[in-house]
Homo-oligomer: A and B are copies of this chain.
Amino acid sequence: MPRSPAPFAEIWRGDIAESHHVGHAVICDATGDIVEAWGDPEAIILPRSSAKMIQAMPLVTSGAAEAAGLTSEQLALACASHEGAPIHIDRVAAWLSDRGLSEDDLRCGAQPTRDRALKIHNIKHDIPPNQLHNNCSGKHAGFLTLNQHLGGGPEYHETDHPVQRACLEIFEDLTGMTSPGYGIDGCSAPNFATSMHGMARAMARFASATEADVAGRAMIALREAMMAHPMLVAGEGRACTRLMQAATEPVAVKTGAEGYFTAILPERGFGIAVKCIDGATRGAECAIAALLVRLGAASADHPDVAAFLNPEIPNRRGVKTGEIRPAPGLLA
């Protein structure tokens, strides 16, 4: 019988807990065994963008990244859900240009930038959103680079395309299970399903990777790229960026749509997967922050941790009216 989701976070306003978030969370060790779990570790989920480091694996293991001379910054962008700020879109544009490609070759679709200054600039100058602004444009630049290496057709996002078949193969290897299905992601690429345990196991594989084989070296290269360039993985003010910067030990943190988070803790060989069952970002952010604090990998007092673990809720005049509180069962 499936286990019910566990308390994640409470939304307090005055003396009233007005909303509640629940979810599933799993911490795995280097053996792939569960260290701790909340909710149902066998729940089937779509990891969405929190699986981007897995989707970037064939780019590296195939030799495509090395052949194209990709830098650590580009590997970070391949794993990113960036906010479409100039630091992101300029680098993705240069990457495509270096490969003899352009924004037209992307299949992720246009998305308005989430960088405030650029958004205002673009509105003032009637510049419409394009595919470079899409938070997945780095992942898609990676897909295109892999595709050049594989010699596939231009519709690299289709589920039966060699690029996506390579992604599925490594996804099933790292999660340690056959994927029970998939959904089409917001960026038009397939997003493969797995269990909560499978996703935490895959993250523990990243955390415990060694230089002994091609896959291990690829996992190390990708996790190190994420940790070296936290601003490229997300952007200013974003949870992934701030939590990676605030962590008291090396941690790679990655969000996914619909309340997903993963984390890789190389010093412990631990992997974490978090799913807020209602899909709320605020609930998932609170939960991943709580688990990092629980493990001693982040301090609850650090402002970049507190901003997600226990943020204030202001009214329109900037006065505190309430706060988000992590569920006691996650934190300690």
Contacts and interface: CB of A to CB of B under 8 A. Distances in A.
A42 interface: no
B185 A19 contact: no
Interface stretch (A9-17, A216-224, A300-308): A9-17
Given A18-B183, A124-B123, A193-B16, A188 B317 contact: yes
B315 A186 contact: yes
Nearest to A13: B183
B283 A321 contact: no
A124 B13 CA distance: 36
B316 A18 contact: no
Interface string A170-203: 0000000000011111111001010000000000
Interface in A1-60: 11, 13-16, 18-22, 44-46
Interface residues of A, number: 46
A236 interface: no
A18 B48 CA distance: 10
Contacts of A124: 123-124
Interface string A298-332: 00000000000000000111110110000000000
Contacts of A21: 278
Given A14-B184, A184-B321, A186-B315, 20 more contacts: A11-B258, A11-B279, A13-B191, A14-B181, A14-B182, A16-B182, A16-B193, A18-B45, A18-B46, A22-B278, A108-B316, A123-B123, A124-B124, A183-B321, A184-B315, A184-B319, A185-B321, A187-B315, A279-B280, A280-B280
6 contacts: A14-B183, A15-B183, A16-B46, A18-B183, A18-B279, A111-B316
